[in-house]
Amino acid sequence: MIGWKYGDLLDLSDLTREDIERVIETAKAFKEVSTRDIKKVPALRGKTVVMLFAEPSTRTRISFELAAKRLSADTLNVTVSTSSAQKGETLLDMAKNIEAMNVDMIIVRHKSAGVAHVLARALKPGVINAGDGCRAHPTQALLDMFTIQERLGRIEGLNVAIIGDVLHSRVARSNINGLVKMGAHVTLCAPTTLMPPGIEKQGVAITHKLDDVLPRADVLMFLRLQKERQEEKYLPSIREYVQHFGLTTEKLKNAKKDVLVMHPGPVNRGVELSAEVADGINSVILEQVTNGVAVRMAILYLLFGKKEKVS
Ligand code: NCD
């Protein structure tokens, strides 16, 4: 058995609304730890958390590592491209070797969808999905929801627009999953070529015009244009994309005065957001980063309290 009840976080589909609320509540308490002079609590003393990252990542990896360290766990980083994967060893073999050294939690990022599930099924330690292909990035969605809840006091009933490269975005998929469950009204805004067909079945509205979402939105969540995942040409030109889907100070005038501007990072400045908007008063991008540590502390803490997997 795998999933949230058994100590894994693979995607948000197996979390209930109450589970998500529990993560948000727990993160609230942990947020304070990072503001202390001594930024450490003993909750996970003696536990070993391994980061198995097979895709470039800075902020997510650092965020997990800080979260584990602030809970007093021992951490280990395995960068797959520089290790034996190059000698033909499969990721599963490598993970089994890590498991044989008695670690307690494996955090995995991989370019292929489903890798976290495969590891969770095969291994006894808990597995956290830190991003698998275009499929899911549950901890990002949880930290985004935490930020919305903290800033606006609720998620239920809010108008949240998710804008940009939805097709290639695991962040969008996980946020749709979580936000719809929490009772938000979600509208996706993307060029036709970057909108996954049939996505409206997940309880979201769709549009291809930024002007449709700007005046009503309480939250504008921008997605990075995933240049590295675009094998084919999806767009006539970046310039045209910016013109229709990029947010500038001028366009922001059509939005609510206190709208939240969010982005999972890294921002392509001048593409999804102009520099002024990215650094402007509506932007909560760096708060998302701060909250990421608290939310990942909460996730680790809660997962270690779950049932043991029986394989
Ligand atoms: C996201 C990712 O890697 O999925 N970034 C992140 O986790 N900080 C978003 C992205 O790369 O576009």
* 266 alpha carbon – ligand 1 mean position (Å): 7
3-state secondary structure of 167: coil
Handedness of CA 139, 108, 233, 200 (dihedral sign): negative
Residues 87 and 210 in one domain: no
pLDDT at 234: 84
- Closest approach atom of ligand 1 to CA 109: 3
Residues 245 and 294 in one domain: no
Query: Is residue 70 lining ligand 1, measured as CB closer than 6 Å?
Result: no
Under 8 Å between Cβ of 162 and 189: yes
Query: Is residue 59 lining ligand 1, measured as CB closer than 6 Å?
Result: yes
Query: Is residue 131 lining ligand 1, measured as CB closer than 6 Å?
Result: yes
Residues 246, 240: Cα–Cα separation, whole Å = 9
- In total, how many domains does the chain have? 2
Residues 31 and 124 in one domain: yes
pTM of the predicted model over 0.85: yes
Structural domain containing residue 24: 4-135+290-304
Residues 279 and 142 in one domain: yes
- The CATH code of the domain that includes 163 is 3.40.50.1370
* 184 alpha carbon – ligand 1 mean position (Å): 22
In tens, the pLDDT along 183-233 reads 999 999 999 999 999 999 999 999 999 999 999 999 999 999 987 666 567
Identify the CA nearest to 159 among candidates 186, 182, 181: 186
Residues 182 and 267 in one domain: yes
pLDDT at 163: 98
pLDDT at 58: 87
Residues 57, 55: Cα–Cα separation, whole Å = 6
Residues 170 and 279 in one domain: yes
Cβ count within 10 A of residue 307: 9
3-state secondary structure of 109: strand
Residues 54 and 181 in one domain: no
Residues 184 and 266 in one domain: yes
- What are the C-alpha distances in Å from 8 to residues 77, 104, 139, 159, 281? 19, 11, 12, 30, 37
Question: Which segments of the chain have a pLDDT < 50?
Answer: none
Residues 57, 168: Cα–Cα separation, whole Å = 16
Residues 162 and 28 in one domain: no
Pocket test for ligand 1, best of 221, 224, 268 (most atoms within 8 A of CB): 224
* 111 alpha carbon – ligand 1 mean position (Å): 12
Pocket test for ligand 1, best of 11, 51, 57, 286 (most atoms within 8 A of CB): 57
Residues 124 and 143 in one domain: no
pLDDT at 107: 98
Residue 60 makes CB contacts below 8 A (sequence gap 6+) with 109, 130, 131, 139, 140, 292
* 265 alpha carbon – ligand 1 mean position (Å): 6
Structure tokens at 273: 């957001």
Per-residue DSSP letter, 2:
-
Strands (E) in 115-158, as ranges, are 126-132
